[in-house]
Structure 1
Amino acid sequence: MTTLTLPLMVDLKHVHLTDEQFYQLCINNPDLNIERNAAGVLIFMSPVGGYSGNREMELGIDLGIWNRQTGLGKVFSSSTIFKLPGGGNRSPDAAWVELSRWEALTPEQRQKFPPIAPDFIIELRSRTDDLPTLQAKMQEYQDSGVRLAWLFDPQNQQVEIYRQGQEKEVLALPTQLSGEAVLPGFTLEVARFTD
């Protein structure tokens, strides 16, 4: 096993990692799900259970099928960390980046944590997720330039829709969602979540 030595700058409340140190921390600890918010706070996330993992995958499959048919961009799994312009390093449950924006990145930028805000993201609240924490993450996505974002909340049987420059919209499930101008022609029929 490779060990990682990090020369950390520490104040009384925070550990400050450079982008490269954060990248190495994640790469050298592949069994940990780590994010970093815009304030530099490290967030260690627990793995999800079978229900949440299945729901995540099903939502990502629908996005992937639409993208395969249109060829308009690139789809990413929950294992992908994006280096957001607002300073955070986040991994949404599913993400999509418009093709010309993706191709504008260098090969090295594509290889590491892409320094780009996705155009679209999906987050799915698991049983262990705190809703206000996820809503703050959604705001961080918006602040970083994400154009459309869906937060699925099975506990409350609803979905929150975040759009650039607008108040969030909350819809009860079941519902039909549209990718709007961000994902032209993409629609998603969402049933009520059941365990």
Structure 2
Amino acid sequence: MATATRTESTIEPPDDIRPGVIPEERDPIVPPTGDGFYEVVDGVVVEVPPMGSFEADIANLIAYSMNEHARPRRLGRAFVGVLFRIDVGREIRRQPAVAFVSAARLPAGKRAPKASSWQVVPDLAVEIVSPSDQAAHLNRKIADYFQAGTIAVWVIYQETRQVYAYSSPVDVRILTPPADLDGGAVLPGFRLPIARLFEDDPDPSPSPSPSPSPAGS
């Protein structure tokens, strides 16, 4: 008589139950035509101005520094200017200047999707305040991030050279040079001097050494 053999296998959880990952479904929002930037607030498409050149320079510096630290340690990846669908129920989509998505929330080995928005909640969101930003809108953004599951939010005020580092909608540290941005639990070991965000040449290349003078000159 044959004996049945029982085998056990390990089933990996699907990506849609990773922390901070929102299950995919048909997108009910039609993006505006053209190359305009937008967010979605309570199901309503809201056009937003693009970052200026200086703001974009700050964003790229932060993202580059994050990736330089995070990638060798497999902590996750930083992104610039990505629209995130952070709340499907309320239909909230936000486009931070920089977002860091941890390895725990990234499908292993996968790139960002080929879609108008990405259904994942960033662990860290960075907003760079421009003169046209209104306080009420900014406060709503911060609340939306934390309600969706974001762990930290950095708000950069370029005019006053300050960074408001939020760990909740009501817990904030106001940082100025020579303080550092600290990755905390999201990016362990990451530090970036705030002064570098506002310097004219934040990462200068070393000047070439002068050529030696010919003997006898």
Tell which deviates more after alignment, 107-116 or 82-91: 107-116
Contact 1:159 1:173 in 2 (8 A): no
Q: Which residue is equivalent to 1:68? A: 71
What secondary structure does 1:110 align onto? coil
Q: C-alpha displacement at 1:93, in angstroms? A: 0.8
Q: Which residue is equivalent to 1:82? A: 84
What secondary structure does 1:57 align onto? helix
Q: C-alpha displacement at 1:75, in angstroms? A: 1.9
Q: Give deviations 1:139-169, integer Å, cap 9, x for gaps.
A: 2111111001111011232111111476222
Contact 1:177 1:190 in 2 (8 A): yes
Contact 2:66 2:77 in 1 (8 A): no
Q: Which residue is equivalent to 2:48? A: 45
Q: Give deviations 1:84-104, integer Å, cap 9, x for gaps.
A: 135311111111111132117
In the superposition, the TM-score normalised over structure 2's length comes to 0.69
Q: Which residue is equivalent to 2:95? A: 91
Identical positions, percent: 26
Aligned amino acid, residue 81 of structure 1: L
Q: Which residue is equivalent to 1:3? A: none
Q: 1:118 to 1:50 in 2, by over 3 A?
A: same
In the superposition, the TM-score normalised over structure 1's length comes to 0.76
Q: C-alpha displacement at 1:42, in angstroms? A: 2.2
Q: Give deviations 1:64-98, integer Å, cap 9, x for gaps.
A: 211222221122111x1111135311111111111
Cα distance between partner residues in 1 of 2:50 and 2:169: 32
What secondary structure does 1:128 align onto? coil
Q: C-alpha displacement at 1:132, in angstroms? A: 3.4
Runs of 5+ consecutive residues of structure 2 not aligned to the other structure: 1-24, 201-217
Q: Which has the higher helix share?
A: 1
Cα distance between partner residues in 1 of 2:131 and 2:71: 31
Q: Give deviations 1:147-195, integer Å, cap 9, x for gaps.
A: 0111101123211111147622222344212111111111111117368
What secondary structure does 1:183 align onto? coil
Q: C-alpha displacement at 1:32, in angstroms? A: 0.5
RMSD over aligned Cα, in angstroms? Answer: 2.8
Aligned amino acid, residue 103 of structure 1: P
Question: In the alignment, which of 151, 159, 170 is matched to residue 174 of structure 2?
Answer: 170
Runs of 4+ in 1 over 3 A off after TM superposition: 107-111, 192-195
Larger radius of gyration: 2
What secondary structure does 1:115 align onto? coil
Contact 1:145 1:164 in 2 (8 A): no
Aligned amino acid, residue 86 of structure 2: L
What secondary structure does 1:152 align onto? strand
Q: Which residue is equivalent to 1:193? A: 198
Question: In the alignment, which of 15, 20, 27 is matched to residue 20 of structure 1?
Answer: 27
